[in-house]
Amino acid sequence: MPVPAVIAALQLPPFKGGAVRPFSWYEDFLLSNARIFVEAGITAIKVQDETREEGPAAMQTVARMAALGRSFRREFPGTALGIIVQAHDAVGPLAIADACDADFVRLKVFVGAAVNAEGLRMALNIPATQYRAAIGRQDIKIYADVHDRTCVPLAGMAPETAAVWAQSLGADAVILTGSGFDDTLSRVAAARKAGVVRPILIGGGVTTANIGAALSAADGVIVSTALLRDGAAHDDFALWDREKVLRLVEAAQTARHPAATVIAD
């Protein structure tokens, strides 16, 4: 599967630690918000678990994410599906993706070591690539973050060096996100110069105003915050704004095909 030009990130409220909700509530939340994206022209959605775990993803998280992924796949069979879990886990996301036939997983701290608010995070590349091979699912692509901005690398390696490492250790695409948009563009350029030939995605900070520059530099973008509906609660069944999504899709199409008629990507 080629890297989508635009991937919408759909964050689920945590499965524990807050309001106790039945599984059906999460299913309704997912499908109603996914429909907003799909009807506005988004063709790839990353479903994001935000349940904080001390270790790998809990059995409940894996089971619920797999079931939600199956519901998504039945409802939107033509939409590319990605999986990410909040837990630092190489195997859980791939097991979920296998069960629900997702197209890709996003893994953070794929190479090296880092510290985030939850503690030490070690490289996920070996267990992830070994498990993917063991289950015979090389078709599930690994999109690997390089120096994700939510954590601090323990070694002083340059982001472009880490990107080359990620490429050599099995990432099908690398995700780069700097401290600001200009820093992100600089990181993308440096990674290309260092020898990264795999697709590069920009993982944050993309808006309708800058998506043209983003897609000129990178192969795709992941976007969510810029598309939120003003004033919506985090658990709203219409959390994302259809009009904002439409404008972003149109801007992306114009950036990729400036002389063509705008169609859904």
Q: How far, in Å, are 2, 4, 80, 142 from residue 90 at the CA level?
A: 22, 22, 21, 10
Provide the CA 230 distance to its chain's centre, in angstroms: 22
The per-residue pLDDT for 54 is 85
Beta strands in the chain (DSSP E): 6-11, 44-48, 80-84, 104-107, 113-116, 119-122, 141-146, 152-153, 173-176, 200-202, 220-223
CB-hemisphere CA count at 13 Å for 33? Answer: 30
Tens of pLDDT along the chain (265 residues) come to 789 999 999 999 999 877 779 999 999 999 999 999 999 999 999 999 999 988 899 999 999 999 999 999 999 999 999 999 999 999 999 999 999 999 999 999 999 888 877 878 889 999 999 999 999 999 999 999 998 777 788 887 899 999 999 999 999 999 999 999 999 999 999 999 999 999 999 999 999 999 999 999 999 999 999 999 999 999 999 999 999 999 999 999 998 754 433 323 2
Whether the CB-CB separation of 201 and 220 falls below 8 Å is answered with: yes
Is the pTM higher than 0.95?
A: no
| pLDDT the model gives residue 257 | 57
- Give residue 114's pLDDT: 81
d(CA 2, CA 163): 19
**Do residues 244 and 227 lie in contact, with contact meaning Cβ atoms separated by under 8 Å?**
yes
Return all residues near 237 (Cβ < 8 A) that are at least 6 apart. Answer: 28, 29, 32, 33
Indicate the CATH number of 6-255 among 3.40.640.10, 3.40.50.10800, 3.40.190.10, 3.20.20.70. 3.20.20.70
pLDDT at 40: 98
DSSP 93: H
**Strand, helix or coil at 151?**
coil
Using the structure block, give the residue that is written with the tokens 């810029």. Answer: 226
